[in-house]
Amino acid sequence: MRLRRLVARGFRNLAPLDRPVPPAGFALLGANGSGKTNLLEAIYYPVLFRSFRGAADAEIGRFGGEGFHVEVSFGDGDHPGTAAATWTAAGREKKLAVDGEQVRTVAEGAGRWLAVAFLPTDTGLASGAPAERRHYLDRMLALADAEYLRALARYRQGISRRNAALRAGDLAAAQAFEPAIAAVGAVVVAGRIDWVAMARTAFAREFAELGESLPADLTYHGDTALADPAAWGERFQGARERDRQRGITSVGPHRDDLKLTLAGRPIGRYGSTGQQRSAAIALKLLELATLRAARGEEPALILDDVFAELDRERQTRLAGRLTGGGVRQVLVSSPRREELPGELELEVWGVEGGVVRGA
- What is the pTM assigned to this prediction? 0.91
Each residue's pLDDT tens digit, 115-126:
999 999 999 999
Task: Give the pLDDT score at 309.
Answer: 78
Q: Is the pLDDT of residue 212 over 90?
A: no
Q: Who contacts 354 (Cβ-Cβ below 8 Å, separation ≥6)? A: 12, 13, 14, 15, 34, 35, 38
DSSP state of 16: P
The predicted structure's pLDDT at residue 324? 67
Question: What domains, with CATH codes, occur in the chain?
Answer: 1-114+297-359 (3.40.50.300), 131-277 (1.20.1050.90)
Q: How confident is the model at residue 340 (pLDDT cuts 50, 70, 90)?
A: confident
Query: Rounded to 5 degrees, what are φ and ψ at 165?
Result: -65, -40
Note the Cα 145 to chain centre separation in Å. 14
Residue 359 has pLDDT above 80, yes or no: no
Average pLDDT score over residue span 211-223: 93
**Pick from 7-11, 67-71, 273-277: least confident:** 273-277
Encode pLDDT of 102-116 as tens digits.
Answer: 998 888 888 899 999
C-alpha–C-alpha distance, residues 139 and 130, integer Å: 14
Bridge-based pairing state of the strands 25-29 and 300-304: unpaired
pLDDT of residue 77: 67
- Of the chain, the percentage scoring pLDDT greater than 70 comes to 98
Q: Say what the pLDDT of residue 245 is.
A: 93
Measured in Å, how far apart are the chain's first and last C-alpha atoms? 24
Closest by Cα among 57, 81, 78 to 68: 57
Dmax of the chain from CA atoms?
66
Residue 326, pLDDT score: 61
Select from 56, 61, 6, 14 the least CA-distant residue to 36: 14
Share of the chain above pLDDT 90, in %: 73
pLDDT in the model for residue 297: 86
Reported confidence tier of residue 344, pLDDT bands at 50, 70, 90: confident
DSSP 87-133: EETTTTEEEEEETTEEESSHHHHTTSS-EEEE-GGGGHHHHS-HHHH
Three-class DSSP category at 214: coil
Per residue in 176-207, pLDDT tens?
999 999 999 999 999 999 999 999 999 999 99
